Structure 1
Amino acid sequence: MAENFNVRLNEAKYYTPEASCREQSWIGDYNRAYQAFLADPDGFWDSAARELEWFQPWDQVREWEYPHARWFVNAKLNITYNCLDRHAHSQRRNKVALMWRGETEDEERILTYRQLLQEVCRFANGLSRLGVRKGDRVCIYMPVVPEQIVAMLACARIGAIHTVVFGGFGVSALNQRIRGTAAKVVITADFTYRRGKAIPLKNIVEEAVVKAPSVERIVILRRDAEKPVEIHPEMEVDYHDLMNGVGRECPPEPMDAEDPLFILYTSGTTGSPKGIVHACGGYMVGTYYTTKHIFDVKDSDIYWCTADPGWITGHSYGVYGPLLNGATCLITETTPDYPTPATNWDLIEEYGVTIFYTAPTAIRMFMRVGEEWPNRYNLSSLRILGSVGEPLNPEAFEWFYQTIGKGRCPIVDTWWQTETGMQMLTTTIGEPMRPGFVGKPIPGVVADVVDKTGKPVPPGTGGLLVIKEPWPSMMRTIWNDDERYCKYWDTIPGCYTAADLAVKDEDGYIMVIGRSDDLIVVAGHNIGTAEVESALVSHEAVAEAAVIGKPDALKGNTIKAFVILRDGRQPGDKLKNDLTYHVRLTLGPIAIPSEIEFVRSLPKTRSGKIMRRVLKAQELGMDPGDISTLEE
């Protein structure tokens, strides 16, 4: 597969971080730290885990029975004790844990660690009052409000397994996830705000539970005190009424390290959504370790991960990871381009955000509207920028680095998945950054780029990205479908196969090209969609692009591009010719799109990934398959 997929690497350049970044680097010398991990992997993770508090220590760090692993065997813990109690019972007691901003400036709430612990305990007691017990599943379908995080932590407090469903999903997707987990309780709100409009959630839940016999109660957060929605007492209960008369203390349920913490559904390219299961102990250690070291979190930081908690990034780096580290987190219900394209920059200036973790699709959207918006604001508080969700193309890297970071903030581009639970590849702070390359495996992770037999490919040659050893936060199984889990490890025996194409340079830096199913074979040449898209986006007129392969009798496939233009640029035949010529010069004639269609939007998941298979299905008149994660 990879033999004729050679990527031009010589044009990429390195950025050397400022001396201050190198001085604050947690590893000092990446190679030395990585070799120390390889010399004693169990000792490495044992040391990381001992920074947290456990009710009972482990008998051994890991037990590996391919393809299943157990981590911190027989240890007992509760993740909320580490997220809340150990801070609330220390000098961080009155430190701000959460700052929430709604769509308008007058909507703001602040919770200290002491207050957040009390809210979590009260709601956990309320859930217990409803009969929720350890091992029960609870579905959370809420807007981005503090109560959403309280609900997640309250479930973990009493040992219930939460499954968070993004508040933008419709009836069918919600019903599928409720039935898939046999959820006992659903927690929702009367509505969510988006672009100034109130979007009802309660009505969607009422429809979704009609054919979900496992649901016993629905908890409803009523946000409009002046016009509260009607509560049907035979099934429904008000969020605040549930906590009336309950205590503000709730002992954390001792959990085995391998007990499930949550189930999170993710769509593959084919088949029904997969319920990824993460376990209490390993997930806690993995998210704690990566948040602390990859973002260099300090006690004075104001940390903002823009991902909705309905996605894995929101779980790992919006809730659990930062709270495990005692960080002050900003969460918002805002939309980055509403009411103006300056919303994010305004919030960064107002709250003094120091760590900003967002998605390439958002960065390219900011590029599209120009530098004038961020340039109106003082962004000097920023010290670390992060990217997640899809490959960060070099042009977006440059814009993010120069326009937002002013050439002084390291960019932590990260590769990981719902299935991995934690970040796996990045360029650690202090190491030279190479635009277009996510970086190297972090200490604790063994990754490589291989051919279909599992043999490492030469530098500059594309192959499959694989993980060769287990890691603590790896998914344990797929809910009610362990056979589907095993396929991740069976594609290339002995390896976890991420289904992503990648290439590694002479220095070990890895560029993620795109999904292996996004490979286009043109006249016997393998072309990565992300590579062509990056070439198109590097043209000054292009904001975003997606490409697909179309069957062709002569070449096997031809390339069709869907292009969103920057504001002020007009489509036309002249521009099509310019783009074709630009791709020719950038990648060569084999990668030239045979068709270019100018569009206003692209089908994306809520996490920002372009769903190319939807474009291809529409183009060929085929069934697009599961589109439950498609953004409206």
Structure 2
Amino acid sequence: MANTTKAAWIPSKDILQKSRLGNWMQRLGFTDYDSFHQESIKKIDWFWREAVKELDISWFSTPSVTLDLSKGVQYPDWFVGGKVNVAYNAVEKWADDPSTRHRTALIWEGDDQEKKVYTYEQLNVAANAAANGLKQLGAKHGDVIFLYMPMIPETVIAMLAISKIGAVFTPAFSGYMADAVSARLEASGAKFLITADGYYRRGKVVNMKQEADKAADQSNSLEKVIVVERIGGTASWITSRDVAWETITQNRREFKADIMDSSEPFMIIYTSGTTGKPKGTVHTHAGFPIKAAFDAGICMDVRPDDKLFWLTDMGWMMGPFLVYGGLLNRAAIVLFEGTPDYPGPDRLWQLTEELQLSHLGVSPTLIRSLMQYGTTPAEPYVLSSLRLFASTGEPWNEKPWTWLFEDIGNKKIPIFNYSGGTETSGGILGNVLVKPIQPANFNAPLPGMAANVFNQEGLSVTGEVGELVLQQPWVGMTKGFYKDDNRYEATYWNRWKDTWVHGDWVIKNEDGYFNITGRSDDTLNIAGKRIGPTEIESCLVSHPAVAEAGVIGLPDELKGETAAAFVVVHSYMEPTEQKKEEILTHLKNRLGKALAPKQLYFLSDLPKTRNAKVMRRALKTAFLGQSSGDLSALVNPDILEEIAALRKKE
């Protein structure tokens, strides 16, 4: 369990006064975060009006009304009458300014360590060329353009260009196979698909174009496939449909961003459901970008000329978050095609020193995977440029959190736990830098986020597991689901009146800190006792033999449900029967006999997404031989056969 009584990191007087959040609070008349947060959720229109001023958002026409709730809290209208364009705020205005145009905007490093750097002026010129080319192809205001791209500069250039012409982009995970791409293409009704001939991963070519072609063959709406040449020479080309990126980006003349209404969409990003079709979250020019810029800039203290890096994919929320959270704050964003332990386990630390990163975004599973190498890979590198570790994707266990904070960060670099979602455009809970930080916990709801914890009766509770809810709308809230508002309302608004139910089990402790115990649909109910899988997983990884762990609930005739543990041991350990008994005994001693799993299985890996998030659903369905729903986000699908084989042995 996370330490809920002792802070590991305490903000200095300098941070309290000079961090962007601390300084802003003081100018607004607040010295205490909790009172500031209460004001931010009581006067939400005042708060977000002040937030866009602080972020220096540029409007073509200033909004006449900050918030209109005439359609209900499910459908708020923000910045009514405002005219804006995300591409203007992200790059064009910095490129137009002689004092900022030569500042670094984007740094890219490939899997093969190839590097490219763009200034704001160069990035804007590239976006202008792409915008001119898209217009020439027939793309227009409101069209949906699908991005099936690796983490390369052209991905960001395409996003900016699409916004410049007033179209809408839909990003998809670069590791998806054709069926997953096809499902999202069909749902979005995209007219254009931008893809690459391939990319590199661990020194090997991933032939992306083959999957793109299969998906395009199934689309009724698609007119053209635009292909960026990354690997060269191996892709198939279908002349009548394919257009080379290089061909359409020849015209580099100036292209001014279209004037858009603040409520117009700029992005539709799909989330994977356990069943049925993916959910298309709709984000507007004055929604997602402002929330991302606020969370990165004000909460995580990203400043002009900082270097923000997140190990992610553009198909996941943190990809667009990286782009807009960085660029709207006039920081440099770092795109990375590779993996953090290739060609060696020092790659991430090498990248940090070489590029002088200020902010490093990771996930708990990634840190657990790097822990197996110890601190030796990091020791040759000086990480003095780092001011913040940031983490999202899943709850922490205390052991890897402490390893990152103490052994890598030398107890100096705060870890900003960050939890929210694609539908929220960013964080609900976080570790604001004006309050002490505890291991593995969250120290507060973020400003403007009216978070609470409800029990089954809909009452606010402290000290017990409950549902994470939001009781006020916020900037960045999805504008329904694309062409499916009934599903949107059923997903988030049907439990309690005017209350967003997020789907996380959370404990709000007496000291005001929050602990996420898992997704509410993952929670185990063992003989009437509720426990989150994360709590058991934390106990598992506290055993010295365990590198990673996943826990699921299985049907049980006596208890209704019982926990089963899946464990990856450290590479220097043997997964023996004796070791299994040791770990099971450890669980009983820590959790008690009633809650401790009685079944434990060794695996060579856990089913994960590209951003290293463990998919418990994949564990469960593979083990039980059930229909899996959408598992297209898995980066290691071969592990499912290993999981299925375990059940057959019983």
1:340-351 equivalences in 2 (<5 Å): 340-351=344-355
Which of 254, 260, 284 is the aligned partner of 2:289? 284
Please give the per-residue CA displacement for 1:578-606, whole angstroms capped at 9, x wherever unaligned: 21222223222222111110101111223
Match of 2:51 in 1: 48
The AA in structure 2 aligned to 1:164 is P
Match of 2:175 in 1: 168
Which of 458, 468, 473 is the aligned partner of 1:470? 473
Does residue 370 (structure 1) correspond to residue 377 (structure 2)? The answer is no
Which of 231, 242, 257 is the aligned partner of 1:236? 242
Match of 2:483 in 1: 480
Shift of 1:9: 6.4
CA distance in 2: counterparts of 1:55 and 1:219, whole angstroms: 31
Moved more, 110-119 or 274-283: 274-283
CA distance in 2: counterparts of 1:437 and 1:251, whole angstroms: 44
- Which ranges in structure 2 are unaligned for 5 or more consecutive residues? 23-31, 637-650
CA distance in 1: counterparts of 2:380 and 2:165, whole angstroms: 47
Shift of 1:153: 0.9
TM-score under structure 1 length normalisation:
0.95
CA distance in 2: counterparts of 1:234 and 1:197, whole angstroms: 29
CA contact 2:174–2:313 (8 Å) conserved in 1? no
Match of 1:139 in 2: 146
Match of 1:379 in 2: 383
CA distance in 2: counterparts of 1:588 and 1:184, whole angstroms: 57
Match of 1:191 in 2: 198
The AA in structure 2 aligned to 1:437 is N
CA distance in 1: counterparts of 2:339 and 2:555, whole angstroms: 38
CA distance in 2: counterparts of 1:228 and 1:603, whole angstroms: 30
- Which ranges in structure 1 are unaligned for 5 or more consecutive residues? 1-6
The AA in structure 2 aligned to 1:258 is S
Which of 264, 267, 284 is the aligned partner of 2:269? 264
Match of 2:459 in 1: 455
What SS does the corresponding residue of 1:526 show, helix, strand or coil?
strand
Match of 1:15 in 2: 9
CA contact 2:179–2:215 (8 Å) conserved in 1? yes
CA distance in 2: counterparts of 1:582 and 1:19, whole angstroms: 42
Q: In 2 relative to 1, CA 596–538 (structure 1 residues): closer, same or farther, beyond 3 Å?
A: same
1:444-593 equivalences in 2 (<5 Å): 444-457=448-461, 459-487=462-490, 488-593=492-597
1:105-116 equivalences in 2 (<5 Å): 105=113, 107-116=114-123
CA contact 2:425–2:476 (8 Å) conserved in 1? yes
CA distance in 1: counterparts of 2:577 and 2:5, whole angstroms: 30
What SS does the corresponding residue of 2:361 show, helix, strand or coil?
strand
What SS does the corresponding residue of 2:360 show, helix, strand or coil?
strand
Shift of 1:517: 0.9
The AA in structure 2 aligned to 1:269 is T
CA distance in 2: counterparts of 1:13 and 1:99, whole angstroms: 35
Match of 1:68 in 2: 75
Please give the per-residue CA displacement for 1:493-519, whole angstroms capped at 9, x wherever unaligned: 221111110000112211111011111
The AA in structure 1 aligned to 2:264 is D
CA distance in 2: counterparts of 1:536 and 1:254, whole angstroms: 54
The AA in structure 1 aligned to 2:125 is Q
Match of 2:435 in 1: 431
What SS does the corresponding residue of 2:65 show, helix, strand or coil?
coil
Which of 33, 36, 46 is the aligned partner of 1:30? 33
CA distance in 1: counterparts of 2:73 and 2:390, whole angstroms: 33
CA distance in 1: counterparts of 2:446 and 2:220, whole angstroms: 44
Match of 2:106 in 1: 98
The AA in structure 2 aligned to 1:555 is K
Shift of 1:427: 1.4
CA distance in 2: counterparts of 1:462 and 1:354, whole angstroms: 35
Shift of 1:98: 0.6
Match of 1:85 in 2: 92
Match of 2:26 in 1: none
Please give the per-residue CA displacement for 1:89-120, whole angstroms capped at 9, x wherever unaligned: 22111001011111223x11110000000100
CA distance in 2: counterparts of 1:568 and 1:466, whole angstroms: 43
What SS does the corresponding residue of 2:421 show, helix, strand or coil?
coil
CA distance in 1: counterparts of 2:222 and 2:42, whole angstroms: 49
CA contact 2:2–2:397 (8 Å) conserved in 1? no
Shift of 1:251: 1.6
CA contact 1:15–1:434 (8 Å) conserved in 2? yes
CA contact 1:514–1:530 (8 Å) conserved in 2? yes
Does residue 57 (structure 1) correspond to residue 62 (structure 2)? The answer is yes
Q: In 2 relative to 1, CA 9–194 (structure 1 residues): closer, same or farther, beyond 3 Å?
A: closer
1:297-376 equivalences in 2 (<5 Å): 297-316=302-321, 318-376=322-380
- The number of residue pairs the alignment matches comes to 621
Which of 118, 123, 136 is the aligned partner of 2:125? 118
What SS does the corresponding residue of 2:59 show, helix, strand or coil?
coil
CA distance in 2: counterparts of 1:422 and 1:293, whole angstroms: 13
CA distance in 1: counterparts of 2:4 and 2:260, whole angstroms: 51
The AA in structure 2 aligned to 1:26 is R
Q: In 2 relative to 1, CA 8–88 (structure 1 residues): closer, same or farther, beyond 3 Å?
A: closer
Shift of 1:33: 2.1
CA distance in 2: counterparts of 1:519 and 1:229, whole angstroms: 45
CA distance in 2: counterparts of 1:368 and 1:153, whole angstroms: 39
Q: In 2 relative to 1, CA 295–248 (structure 1 residues): closer, same or farther, beyond 3 Å?
A: farther
CA contact 2:126–2:252 (8 Å) conserved in 1? no
Please give the per-residue CA displacement for 1:150-172, whole angstroms capped at 9, x wherever unaligned: 01111111111100111111010
CA contact 1:25–1:428 (8 Å) conserved in 2? no
% identity of equivalent residues = 37
Q: How much is the aligned-residue C-alpha RMSD, in angstroms?
A: 1.7
Shift of 1:298: 2.1
What SS does the corresponding residue of 1:68 show, helix, strand or coil?
coil
CA contact 2:169–2:267 (8 Å) conserved in 1? yes
The AA in structure 1 aligned to 2:580 is K
Q: In 2 relative to 1, CA 10–123 (structure 1 residues): closer, same or farther, beyond 3 Å?
A: closer
Please give the per-residue CA displacement for 1:540-597, whole angstroms capped at 9, x wherever unaligned: 1111101111111111112110001112111122222221222223222222111110
The AA in structure 2 aligned to 1:171 is A
CA contact 2:145–2:167 (8 Å) conserved in 1? yes
TM-score under structure 2 length normalisation:
0.93
1:243-262 equivalences in 2 (<5 Å): 243-244=249-250, 246-262=251-267
CA contact 1:93–1:113 (8 Å) conserved in 2? yes
Moved more, 259-268 or 369-378: 369-378
Match of 2:29 in 1: none
What SS does the corresponding residue of 2:226 show, helix, strand or coil?
strand
CA contact 2:431–2:444 (8 Å) conserved in 1? yes
Please give the per-residue CA displacement for 1:248-297, whole angstroms capped at 9, x wherever unaligned: 31121111111111111111233321111111112232122111112211
What SS does the corresponding residue of 1:331 show, helix, strand or coil?
strand
CA distance in 2: counterparts of 1:82 and 1:8, whole angstroms: 40
CA distance in 1: counterparts of 2:432 and 2:115, whole angstroms: 34
The AA in structure 1 aligned to 2:553 is G
Match of 1:4 in 2: none
Please give the per-residue CA displacement for 1:470-506, whole angstroms capped at 9, x wherever unaligned: 0010001111111111021112222111111000011
CA distance in 1: counterparts of 2:448 and 2:34, whole angstroms: 12
Q: In 2 relative to 1, CA 139–58 (structure 1 residues): closer, same or farther, beyond 3 Å?
A: same
CA distance in 1: counterparts of 2:537 and 2:425, whole angstroms: 28
Moved more, 25-34 or 510-519: 25-34
Does residue 214 (structure 1) correspond to residue 221 (structure 2)? The answer is yes
